[in-house]
Amino acid sequence: MVEEQLDEKSASSRRKSAFKPALLSDIPIGLEERRSVGLHEVDRVLGGGFVKGSVVLLGGDPGIGKSTLTLQIAEKMASGNGKALYISGEESSIQVRLRAQRLKIAGDGIVFLPETEMESILEQAETMMPAFLIIDSIQTVYKSSMNSSPGSVGQVRECCSDIMKFAKDRGIPTIIIGHVTKFGAIAGPKTLEHIVDTVLYFEGEKDQQYRILRASKNRFGSTNEIGVFEMTADGLVEVENPTSIFVTDSQASGSVIVSIMEGTRPLLLEVQALTNPTYFNYPQRVATGIDYKRLTMLLAVLERRVGINVFGLDCFLNVVGGIKVFETAIDLGIIVAVASAVRNKPVAKGTVIIGEVGLGGEVRSVWGIENRLREADKLGLQTAIIPAKSPSPQGIKLNVIRVAEARQAVEQLMNS
């Protein structure tokens, strides 16, 4: 527990509200003014671009590429929209200049300021009135009127509130970079995420080249969209067709193709399963990319409802590409993948498997089935296993096989 005190002068200088109450029906409706970033994947996640005066909180693991992404966004926003003000409390001007040189960014429209005092930052921003503002990072900024150290709960909350007020009053789109804890959440009070308009997470493994930009909160758009990037020597490059990197032509047993929906975008992923006789008292269950508890539940369904014994086997499951899946539409694919690994028999090439599986072994319908099948048809797949009660798709060449139970899907694919 840390005591935080605010001086009386600062507390008494709160301004009176300039707003008056109004009937909700009398408030004029207009389309929010958006500024396209110029990076299609970022625009997709934001819902079409930055809204005037919006504040975006960007979090991610150290070294994942947050500063690289924001520098590329600053270059796009500065071209044709005015100056972009880049505030950094962690890096020197030489470090940022070297990164810009590596990314082939001239930086003509980007003004850099290495500053950590909140009052000085707002004074410089007020004088310059940039078209775009970046704070890197919120944990390094402090208010001199507070006695606590930078990064403390009070400092982070108050500094974020001041930035939010400044951005709203002047209509300046703003990105605030935030550190994350070891559990992957943005460091600081949870109210930090409530203050801002949008919360973005930049995900991926540092030893892999692909990164995923995901929104966990968005007041101006959907939170289901994702943006996919590839980290290269020249910076982050957009991946317009993510399915091409997540699906291979593997013919090994235990490898299946599944379909997920990320907002309005259908993605095909490859799920791999491997089983092996256990050498321990209890078999191992290792899941990468999906919830561990979901895997154990599906293994119980596989053994009880389908009749394939996995009790004495170590089971390993991996979603290729490092992507994390929270959708239940891959349940049937996981069951088929494990069954294929146990029987050491590969699934027929060009087959996509879609469906949620209940505890009774029944295959349940999932939403967006037509979009999923169109994506599979566009990529040249030949067969689709879907729930029995799914609507009939129109205008596709896929051989659609409907199944009501997980046992039917396993028998259909293992005996074909």
Residues 263 and 356 in one domain: yes
The torsion angle over the Cα atoms of residues 144, 150, 156 and 160, rounded to 10 degrees, is 50
Each residue's pLDDT tens digit, 203-223: 887 667 888 898 989 998 888
Residues 234 and 282 in one domain: no
Taking alpha carbons only, the member of 132, 134, 38, 39 closest to residue 83 is 132
Taking alpha carbons only, the member of 395, 413, 298 closest to residue 352 is 413
Residues 407 and 341 in one domain: yes
Each residue's pLDDT tens digit, 226-279: 888 999 988 999 988 887 777 877 788 999 999 998 877 888 999 999 999 998
Predicted confidence at residue 17, as pLDDT, reads 58
Residues 212 and 260 in one domain: no
* 285 pLDDT higher than 50: yes
Predicted confidence at residue 12, as pLDDT, reads 45
Residues 392 and 255 in one domain: yes
Predicted confidence at residue 324, as pLDDT, reads 84
Q: Cα(21)–Cα(131) distance, rounded to whole angstroms?
A: 30
The CATH number assigned to the domain holding 110 equals 3.40.50.300
Per the structure block, which two tokens stand in for 327?
């959708």
Give first-to-last CA distance, the chain, whole Å. 65
Domain assignment of residue 64, yes or no: yes
What average pLDDT does the chain have? 88
Q: Which of 212, 240, 268 is the last residue of a domain?
A: 240
Residues 42 and 171 in one domain: yes
Q: What range does the domain containing 49 cover? A: 32-240
Residues 266 and 125 in one domain: no
Residues 278 and 199 in one domain: no
Domain assignment of residue 223, yes or no: yes
Residues 142 and 258 in one domain: no
The CATH number assigned to the domain holding 361 equals 3.30.230.10
Q: What is the average pLDDT across 114-123? A: 94
Looking at the chain, the whole-number percentage of residues with pLDDT higher than 90 is 58
Domain assignment of residue 265, yes or no: yes
Residue 402 belongs to what H/E stretch? strand 399-403
Please state at what angle helix 66-78 crosses helix 93-102, rounded to 10 degrees. 80
* 18 pLDDT higher than 70: no
Residues 59/186, Cβ–Cβ less than 8 Å: yes
pTM for this entry: 0.77
Q: Cα(224)–Cα(371) distance, rounded to whole angstroms?
A: 15
**Other Cβ atoms closer than 10 A to 360:** 10
Q: Which of 189, 224, 240 is the last residue of a domain?
A: 240
Between 321 and 255, the higher pLDDT residue: 255
Residues 46/243, Cβ–Cβ less than 8 Å: no
* 191 pLDDT higher than 80: no
Domain assignment of residue 71, yes or no: yes
Domain assignment of residue 5, yes or no: no
Number of domains, the chain: 2
Each residue's pLDDT tens digit, 46-86: 998 999 999 999 998 888 999 999 999 999 998 876 899 99
Residues 87 and 216 in one domain: yes
Question: What are the distances in angstroms from CA 147 to CA 27, 155, 161, 236, 287?
Answer: 42, 9, 17, 39, 46
Q: Which range has the worst mean pLDDT, 47-61, 282-296, 389-403?
A: 389-403
Domain assignment of residue 3, yes or no: no
Q: What is the average pLDDT across 277-287? A: 91
Q: Which of 211, 240, 269 is the last residue of a domain?
A: 240
Domain assignment of residue 122, yes or no: yes
Residues 362 and 219 in one domain: no
Domain assignment of residue 359, yes or no: yes
Q: What is the average pLDDT across 8-30? A: 67
Q: Cα(310)–Cα(14) distance, rounded to whole angstroms?
A: 65
Taking alpha carbons only, the member of 227, 127, 126, 133 closest to residue 176 is 133
Residues 296 and 334 in one domain: yes
